[in-house]
Every structure is written in C-alpha cells, then in structure tokens.
C-alpha cells in the first residue's frame, strides 16, 4: 500500500479496475445430453471439444448396455471425470474397495491412475465424461492424445480386444435425454 493512501482508497482502486475482454479464436459450442440407449455393446460420442494455449477440454456422453471398461488402464496425460446420468456403475482401482455410483454421482480420475468400471444395473448405463485434453468431435480424425495405457504402460486403445469392447446396438426409438 502506498504511504499516501488510506486502505479505503486502495480498495476503491481495486474495485474500479477492469479487465479488457479478449477475443477467442475458439467458438462457443452448444450441445445436448442425448444418446441412443443400447441393447448390447457401448457407445462414446464427443459432444464438444476445444484446445487453446491455455488448455483443452472434451465433453462426451457414453452408453453401456453391459460390461464397461473391463481392464485396468490409465490415461497418462488426461485427468477426467465420469458422472452417472442413468443406471449404476461400479468403479475399481487396484488395492481399493470398489465404489458403486448411481444417478448424479461422479468420480474424478487423475492422470496416471489405474481404473476400470462395469455396469451394475439392469438398465443401460449412461455417463457424462469430461476430460482435459482435446478430442475430436464427430467427423474429425481420431486423436490418441490422452495417453491411454494398460497396466504395463503399453498403448491400450479403447477398442482393444483386451478391453472387450463391442459396438453398440441401439434399442429402436429409445434415448437418454
């Protein structure tokens, strides 16, 4: 504080400061939480994604009729969270008790943490997934930039045979929304 200014004068200066708006080269994206419900398999749809010098983010909706992400894996370069929108999911981490999550409950998984999960309800599991790396939206080239790895640190794609992935089969006319 300047020796010639009272505390009230300093506070007034702080309150009257403004920050000039900056133009963003990244467009605002609007999305809807809607996905077909599945009778078998799984789906993963990127709803929005951005990248800039300040960071990146992706938002996806996922649906699982059964199974889950069945083998332990980690995302070396991506913190991400799952929020249960419908159904129940059981999350596992090595040397920890399983955590069962239901509607409006979530889990944040830091980069490098091993985990897997499975559907634990009779209805399809629908998850909102948010991560801190850029991922392509529909129609763009795939990006393997989350550093998805198996327990030995080897690359482990989401569609890897070991992950027991199966393409989703929609239930005609049914959606989560």
Find the length of the chain: 177
> pLDDT in tens for each of the 177 residues of the chain?
445 555 454 444 545 555 555 555 678 999 999 999 999 999 999 999 999 888 999 999 999 999 888 889 999 999 999 999 999 999 999 999 999 999 999 999 999 999 999 999 999 999 999 999 988 786 555 566 677 888 888 887 776 677 777 889 999 999 999
Domain 29-176: give its CATH code.
Answer: 2.60.120.10
State the pLDDT at residue 139.
58
The reported pLDDT for the residue numbered 32 is 96
pLDDT of residue 165: 75
Q: Domain boundaries in the chain?
A: 29-176
């Amino acid at each position: 504080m300047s020796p010639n200014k009272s505390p009230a004068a300093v506070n007034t200066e702080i309150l009257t400061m403004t920050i000039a708006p900056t133009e963003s080269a990244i467009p605002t994206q609007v999305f809807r939480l809607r996905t077909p419900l599945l009778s078998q398999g799984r789906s993963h749809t990127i709803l929005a994604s951005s990248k800039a010098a300040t960071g990146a983010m992706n938002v996806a909706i996922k649906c699982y009729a059964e199974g889950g992400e069945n083998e332990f894996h980690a995302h070396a370069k991506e913190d991400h969270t799952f929020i249960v929108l419908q159904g129940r999911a059981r999350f596992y981490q090595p040397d920890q008790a399983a955590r069962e999550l239901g509607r409006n409950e979530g889990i944040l998984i830091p980069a490098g943490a091993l985990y897997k999960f499975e559907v634990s309800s009779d209805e399809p599991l629908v998850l909102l997934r948010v991560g801190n790396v850029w991922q392509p939206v529909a129609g763009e080239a795939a990006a393997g930039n989350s550093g998805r790895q198996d327990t030995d640190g080897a690359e482990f794609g989401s569609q890897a045979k070991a992950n027991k992935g199966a393409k989703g089969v929609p239930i005609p006319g049914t959606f989560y929304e």
